[in-house]
Amino acid sequence: MNRFFLLVTALLLLAACSQATPAPAEPTGTTAAAAPAPVPAAAEGFRTFAVVSEESTASYLVNEEFFADALRKYNIAVGKGVTIGSTQTVQGFLQLDLAGEQPLGENRFVVDLTGLTSDQSLRDGWLRDNALESNQFPEAVFVASSIAGAPENYTEGDEATFQLVGELTVRSISLPVTFDVTATLSRDTIRGVAEANVKMSDFGVTPPNFANTLVVTDLFTIRMELTAKEQK
């Protein structure tokens, strides 16, 4: 199985700059990714961290198995494996009060699905046109509602593990999803990795199963590798 990653989520949306000239019209039948919403002012005691896109990556990981026709038609080796598709078009923000009883404040994490690429352009095109339909639904959005399992006391510089519980929206379908997170806060920077296991079918996508060519598992992993800087 060559794993096939469907991505989706993860973290942090930056305020967008207004444009001096109108954007070009989109082709009929497509929807442009929405402009990032302004980051709201933080409540007293909260710190706002915004994603650094050039230092962040959103990926999907999925199991695929290729058969004889994949070799004959596309020169793809027969066998099983893990496929990864990734993009650095990740935006968002997270507000935290590490000393408060409710440490999680406003947050929103957005991934532009149109930029996902793997080691096979045919796979990327199938995802874009048939599975994610990213020309019509260009964004995956995650909004966390709570933090679970966080340490009672946190010292900056230490690695912390916890869960972000919230809602993931893909193809206009919103479902509860929990990300397992490992992160470190050092001065004004958070670096961390968040992972969640999700089924394609839960978001209205039928896993590919092409006779004598390939089979893809329904379950896949969303992986976010994020760097976020504090906004003063």
Q: What is the 3-state secondary structure (H, E, C) of the chain?
A: CCCCCCCCCCCCCCCCCCCCCCCCCCCCCCCCCCCCCCCCCCCCCCEEEEECHHHCEEEEEEEEEECHHHHHHHCCCCEEEEEEEEECCEEEEEEECCCCCCCEEEEEEEEEHHHCECCCHHHHHHHHHHHCCCCCCCEEEEEEEEEECCCCCCCCCCEEEEEEEEEEEECCEEEEEEEEEEEEEECCEEEEEEEEEEECHHHCCCCCEECCCEEEEEEEEEEEEEEEEECC
Q: Is residue 26 part of a domain?
A: no
Q: Is residue 221 part of a domain?
A: yes
Number of separate domains in the chain = 1
Host domain of residue 104: 47-230
Q: Is residue 186 part of a domain?
A: yes
Q: Is residue 114 part of a domain?
A: yes
Q: pTM for the whole thing?
A: 0.80
What CATH number did the domain enclosing 81 receive?
2.40.128.110
Q: Is residue 24 part of a domain?
A: no
Q: What is the pLDDT along the chain (232 residues), one digit of tens a residue?
A: 333 323 222 322 222 222 233 333 333 334 444 555 678 888 888 999 999 999 999 999 999 999 999 999 888 899 999 999 999 999 999 999 878 788 899 999 999 999 999 999 989 998 899 889 998 999 999 999 999 998 887 888 899 999 999 999 999 999 999 999 999 999 999 999 999 999 999 999 999 999 899 999 999 999 999 999 999 8
